[in-house]
Amino acid sequence: MSQSSSTVKPLLRIGVLSDSQSYPSRNDWGMVNMQKVLQYLQRTGVDVIIHAGDLAEYGDDKRPQKMYRQMLREFFPVRLPAQVTCIGNHDLWPDDDNAISQRQMLEEYCEAMEESCDNPTVKVINGYTFIAVHEYRWPSYNIPEGVIPRLEAELVKATSANPGRPVFVVTHRNPKNTVTGSCAPKNGVIAYREVFNRFPEVVSLSAHSHPSLYDERCLWQGEFTALNTATLSYGSSEELPVNAVNSIVPFSYEVNEFLIVNVYADNLEIERRSVTFDCEIKPGRRWNIALPYKPAEAAYTFQSRIQKALAPEFPAGARIVLWYDYGFVYFAVEAARHEDLTHFYDLSVTDTETQETRTYRYISDFHRPPEKRNPRPVFKFPDGAVIPGRTYHLELRPVETFGKAGEPLVLDTVIPATYVFRTFTPYPQE
């Protein structure tokens, strides 16, 4: 039977955070959230703290890293937890596009973080191996020459010494086509995926894409196990929904979250926590990974979870309600229901005269705590989706995170010919 925090103390307790994207001020949003996390970790106890990159907003200012180290000493004055960190793209992003080299910026980062510049950096903590990989940022995202072969050699060494024992690999970007944030065409790192595929012991901890830990796709299992470490700054979605600002989702400032990994002899127990609301995400539903990890018996594969998933459903009697306000068209609907969460609403708009159909994806407020979610969400039609005097057939489908779509609500409507649309675009989340 798997052990848990309710029965026995873990062999190792790991706090995992990332993407604070801070300016050098204790009142900065990322630093405020960082202090809350460190306070929680100090109060509950932790053996290791991992920061998976993008500690600073701009890489040529090392004061955020130095401030972070000072905070660690303040919150842990007696015994500092072991530290594991990797550099992120923002940590390498110069504010003034100066000519400083990537290598120099990495060296300055490591000095400010009081860490080795070995790449990868390897630490053995309480018998468990931690490997951190540093990437470069320009002229394109890339991994310095020779790092991948060294990473593979370190994985061979660690897994040979302790077969079946998890090896924690920290990278800023996600291994390709694993956790949410790694699947869009330009997202994810193929080289990581190719190496990790050969080592079932790997537990990948990666960042960069800022999803909410309410999303079950933040945990992936296949040839190995991967976790997205979320963010301490703002939430994003790689699906680029139309009610987001590029990828930044509504209520993004509330998506400040982190992980706790409890290591036991026969399992990993993973807690998800919200900083904004100081609560556990999905309490009673902690992820539990049996050890040693056997891919054929994995509980959290995409395939197994989509097979079990149910499609969201609108409540009986639900309908699409339109209204016109200030030169825009909005629609409201009673929120769809699901065993987990309704992540998206897909709206298809068909011009009944031309039969042209356009489809738009909206993100829900699933990333908010249950008591904060709107039971009657409101969305704005994108600019140009409808025009005055035309008749449209609308279908709105609720979609859960693994892609199961429910039955649509349908509405046939005429946009008044006299309605005058505004000529500017407001903030998309309004």
Q: What is the value of pTM for the model shown?
A: 0.94
Q: What is the mean pLDDT of residues 269-275?
A: 98
**Band of residue 137 on the pLDDT scale cut at 50, 70, 90:** confident
Q: Are strands 82-85 and 48-51 parallel, antiparallel or unpaired?
A: parallel
CATH superfamily of 321-414: Immunoglobulins (2.60.40.10)
- Extract the tokens encoding 17: 């955070």
Residue 62: the pLDDT is: 86
Residue 99: the pLDDT is: 56
Residue 78: CB atoms within 10 A of its CB come to 4
CATH superfamily of 12-308: Metallo-dependent phosphatases (3.60.21.10)
Q: Is 164 left (phi over 0), alpha (psi -120 to 50) or beta?
A: left
Cα distance from N-terminal residue to C-terminal residue, the chain: 49
**Band of residue 61 on the pLDDT scale cut at 50, 70, 90:** confident
Segments of the chain assigned to CATH 3.60.21.10: 12-308
State the Cα–Cα distance between residues 322 and 336, nearest whole angstrom: 17
State the Cα–Cα distance between residues 319 and 59, nearest whole angstrom: 50
Segments of the chain assigned to CATH 2.60.40.10: 321-414
Using the predicted structure, report yes or no on whether residue 58 has a pLDDT greater than 90: no
